Structure 1
Amino acid sequence: MSAQLIHDLVPLGSIVTYSDGSPRPPERHRKKFAAWENRNGGGRLIRKQAEARVGSTTLPASITLHKGDYGSQGTFVLRIHQTFSVNSDLKFSVRERPAIGTVLVLDRAGDDAELVHLAANRTAAEEWLTRHRYPNAVLRQVTADIVAADTVEGRTAA
């Protein structure tokens, strides 16, 4: 599926993979492998941004995946996010959707909100918020309607 379909149909919190279709090179070819890894991977869908106009320039809509955290002993030093334009030539697929009943912790209200945590339930989400400071955080429970919204206008998110 395309990045546009991911943007339009897939709920935040889903695990998404992407690929350019090329075969994986041997890891001993470090430069080739690094280039391949940049165009083949996956992560959790944390943000969907609408098209924006900046002056006379139009920025296309995009999706952002959280690929991983690096640190130790519960302290994250580096978070890896990767953003893709909806015009990307890569092929995307959904590996997992958030379970019904889980709670999305969003950094702010609105369509441009970013997922900062996925909690098992509302109590866990509220407990997480007491330890992490997000003053404008919004909690949104995943319902069957959100997960079932995969079919819109005859298109299906695979």
Structure 2
Amino acid sequence: MSAHTIYDCASLGSVIRYTDETPKPPVRFRKKLSAWEGRNGTGRLVKKEPPRSRATYSSPACFTLHEGDFGQGGIIVVAIRRTWSVESDLRFEIVERPAIGMIRVLQDIGDSPELLHLARDREAAESWLASNRYSRAYLEEVSADEVGADVIEGRAAA
């Protein structure tokens, strides 16, 4: 799939794989391997931003994937996120979509909501929200209608 298709079809909380379709280099070539890992990976879709036009510049629509956290003892020191433009030359694939009944913890920032956490149920989401204070956070359930629309429109995970 193209990046534009991911922007249009994938819902927040989906796990997305991206690749440049080149073979993985051997481990002994550290620089080549590092460059390859920068263009091949997996992450959870946490934000979609619409295109912007200003007087001095314009930018295409983009989406952000959360690839992981680094920390210790429950304290996150660094969160790894990558933002891709819909004009990216990489190939994308929806690996997994959120299941019916899961709860998204979202926060409105700018023009679109950002996924803070994806919980298995409302109780887990409220517990997470109680221990992670966000001023504008709200909960949204993944509905059967949303999952059904994905299947009917041919957007099932690959």
| TM-score by shorter chain over 0.5 | yes
Larger deviation: 88-97 or 49-58?
A: 49-58
Q: TM-score, normalised by structure 2?
A: 0.93
Partner of 2:21: 21
In 1, Cα distance between the equivalents of 2:151 and 2:99? 17
Show CA shifts across 1:98-119 (max 9, x none).
1110000001278611101001
Percent of residue pairs bearing the same amino acid type: 50
CA-based RMSD? 1.8
Mapping of residues 2-151 of structure 1, within 5 Å: 2-108=2-108, 112-150=112-150
**Structure 2 stretches lacking a partner, 5+ long:** none
Larger deviation: 48-57 or 128-137?
A: 48-57
In 2, Cα distance between the equivalents of 1:141 and 1:96? 17
Matched to 2:84, the amino acid is F
SS at match of 1:12: coil
In 2, Cα distance between the equivalents of 1:86 and 1:150? 20
Shift of residue 147, structure 1, vs aligned partner: 2.2
Paired positions, count? 157
SS at match of 1:150: helix
Matched to 1:99, the amino acid is A
In 2, Cα distance between the equivalents of 1:111 and 1:148? 26
Show CA shifts across 1:108-139 (max 9, x none).
27861110100111111111111111111011
Contact 1:18 1:93 in 2 (8 A): yes
